[in-house]
Amino acid sequence: MAWTTNLSTSKLAQIHAQNVLMTFQKSTLFSVEQLHFKQGDVIYLQGDNGSGKSTLMKILAGLITPTEGTVYGQGFTPKSWWQTDSLLGKAVYLHQHPYLFEGSVKYNLTYALNQLKLTASERSSRIKQAINMAQLNDLLGHHASDLSGGERQRLAIARAWIMQPKLLMLDEPISNMDKHSQRLVLAMINQLKQDGTGLLISSHQTCGLTALCQQHWHIKQKTIHTSMHVPAAEAVHQPNTTELHYGTTN
């Protein structure tokens, strides 16, 4: 199927999914004809537990392949001829139970920075800003595995913020968080939005997060409904069902 966009849109980093079907053990999870996720989009992904939010994000991140359909990226720097130009790594997926490296909080924040073309002063100012935003100052020397759930999520988002991905998918970024951590994460997500990062955010708690979003993807009845209308927080508020999650381990 031909994909047409105007020139300015086609320069933006974006992921397209077409005629996607996802099944597990021959049972359909969801199918969708078209989905487009590009820089500048801020999308609220809603769906009941087990509807397939995390699975959809993993598909868009190239971590898993859908049963049927095509998913491809556009507007990213082409890889050199000896490297595989796969979907992997184009849109960054932040797991609902973030993976952290063995080592200190500081190590986790700085590990991947070598990949970025930044001057020493740009690096240190970006790290400082992330530490302040996520209020990680007192935790820098702590081992990442000693952090609480909320602190882990703050660290993971701060690390993603430092890396400045063009497209970032945040899976339940404020679940398990107290109000203070929620506010910090919200400010970081807002900063990413101001920077033009494309954001796809799944959440059960809508409030502040929902208010940041401009589009709504809703997985229901095994398909994905897209709309430019984001429901008001009260309309979609659900009790925090985190304790009942049967999230995947992969």
Ligand X SMILES: Nc1ncnc2c1ncn2[C@@H]1O[C@H](COP(=O)(O)OP(=O)(O)OP(=O)(O)O)[C@@H](O)[C@H]1O
Nearer to ligand X by C-beta: 12 or 224? 224
Alpha-carbon distances of 221 from 29, 54, 102, 169, 218, rounded to whole Å = 9, 16, 40, 23, 10
Q: Which residues bind Mg ion (CB under 5 A)?
A: 53-54
Torsion angle, alpha carbons of 45, 213, 239, 180, to 10? 130
- Dihedrals φ, ψ of 213, to 5°? -85, 150
Using CB under 6 A as the binding rule, whether residue 47 contacts ligand X is answered as yes
Q: What are the E-state strand segments in the chain?
A: 14-24, 27-38, 42-47, 68-74, 91-94, 167-171, 198-202, 215-220, 223-227
Strand order in the sheet with 14-24: 68-74, 14-24, 27-38, 223-227, 215-220, 42-47, 198-202, 167-171, 91-94
CB neighbours of 245 closer than 8 A, spacing ≥ 6?
49, 96
> Least distance (Å) from Mg ion to the CB of residue 245?
7
Q: Least distance from C-beta 27 to ligand X, angstroms?
A: 9
Residue 50 touching ligand X (CB under 6 A): yes
* CB closer to Mg ion, 53 vs 90: 53
Q: Which is nearer to ligand X, 30 or 161 (CB)?
A: 30
Report the residue from 10, 11, 24, 34 that binds ligand X according to the rule CB under 6 A: 24
Residue 172 a catalytic site member: yes
Rank residues 3 and 24 by Cβ distance to ligand X and give the closer one. Answer: 24
Nearest distance, CB of residue 162 and Mg ion, angstroms: 24
- Nearest approach, Cβ of 248 to ligand X (angstroms)? 4
Contacting range for ligand X; rule: CB under 6 A; set: 6-14, 112-120, 224-232, 239-247? 239-247
Residues within the interface to ligand X (CB under 6 A)? 24, 29, 47, 49-55, 245-248, 250
Residues annotated as catalytic are 172
